[in-house]
Amino acid sequence: MKKLSVLLLAVAMVAPGIAAQISQAAGYKQEYKLSTVLGKPFPWGNAGERWAELVREKTAGRINIKMYPGASLVGGDQTKEFTSIRQGAIDLAIGSTINWSPQVQELNLFSMPFLMPDYKAIDALTKGQVGDELFKILASKDVVPLAWGENGFRELSNSKRAIRSPEDLKGLKIRVVGSPLFLDSFTALGANPTQMSWADAVPALSSGAVDGQENPLTVFMAAKLYSAANQKFLTLWGYVADPLIFVVNKEVWESWSAEDQAAVKEAAEQAGEECIAEARQGLLPPDYPLISEIEGHGVTVVTLSEAHKAEFKAATRPVYEKWAEEIGPELVKKAEESIAASRQP
């Protein structure tokens, strides 16, 4: 070993702070910016904090990540997040497939109405061939995808009435996110959808400018939508679910040593698994305690019967068919087959 490396090793052993400074001198930034839409205490924000913490531990402080929730690095416009990662204004992100779908058409797959019947189906996609293919597509767009997390199944809430059939949705103003696919779905159901960021959604719901929204129940709870936004009616229809994806800007990734790259990936995988578990907490059979908790806040919860679900499915079928063409019929077919295979006993 050369004298200098021996010296560096000795310094690293006795004074990690100095070692961190040396590595920064070697081209590492003082701080890496991590973008998320939701912060703590949402599972999404917890995942961001956890990823940063694990990376700090595993790299002995060489990589210092700071989370910027509220999509604040793009002025709250979550649909611009992906472009900003590509351009390097954001170093790392945990993003929803919905928010990145305007730039990555294939990510609309997860927003196809009634494609995924349950958690097993989500896993069949993200952990199988479809997930691999989506990671390849992302890797061709200046980012390095590392792991999956989860926002969750998006359930429908509103301030006006219990919704059991598309008829009940007629004329309701519903806030939707991101992709035009959502506008198509809610238009097909007879609602009046309007697109806005999460930052704008909560005040719009509170003031009554819009009647309803769709988001995972963990979000519904943590944002207290039942009181803060008058959302007294909730329909469990599980029509779409959005996974989260952990990525790093490619140039940033390439500036790190192989050892640090491995540490960041391992940390993302661990934080991702924990995020998925947290996103599903209270929402698993047999007793779904989170749903009872929501009812405890005076919310009327409707669980759709299969017959009623079929009405929503039929009404959105043309949207499914139209978007299968946009996303790519082969990818959609592969997704359908992966889900079908996951249902074999």
Closest-approach residue to ligand X2X (CB)? 198
To ligand X2X, the closest distance from the beta carbon of 143 in angstroms equals 18
Q: Which is nearer to ligand X2X, 219 or 276 (CB)?
A: 219
SS3 state of residue 173: strand
Residues 6 or more apart from 84 whose CB is under 8 A from it?
A: 35, 73, 74, 90
Out of 23, 35, 84, 99, which residue is the one contacting ligand X2X (CB under 6 A)? 99
In the chain, the amino acid numbered 134 is L
Q: Which is nearer to ligand X2X, 188 or 222 (CB)?
A: 222
231 contacts ligand X2X (rule: CB under 6 A): no
Whole-angstrom distance between the N-terminal and C-terminal Cα of the chain?
57
Residue 239's closest CA among 326, 121, 133, 159? Answer: 121
Q: Which is nearer to ligand X2X, 63 or 234 (CB)?
A: 234
Residues 6 or more apart from 204 whose CB is under 8 A from it?
A: 175, 196, 210
The alpha carbon of residue 134 and the mean position of all alpha carbons in its chain are separated, in whole angstroms, by 14
159 contacts ligand X2X (rule: CB under 6 A): no
78 contacts ligand X2X (rule: CB under 6 A): yes
Q: Which is nearer to ligand X2X, 242 or 260 (CB)?
A: 242
- Which letter does DSSP use for residue 42 in this model? S
To ligand X2X, the closest distance from the beta carbon of 220 in angstroms equals 10
82 contacts ligand X2X (rule: CB under 6 A): no
Binding residues for ligand X2X restricted to 174-193, rule: CB under 6 A: 177
Cα dist from 13 to 17, 19, 57, 217, whole Å: 10, 8, 15, 46
Residues that bind ligand X2X (CB under 6 A): 37-38, 78, 96, 98-99, 151, 177, 198, 215, 219, 242
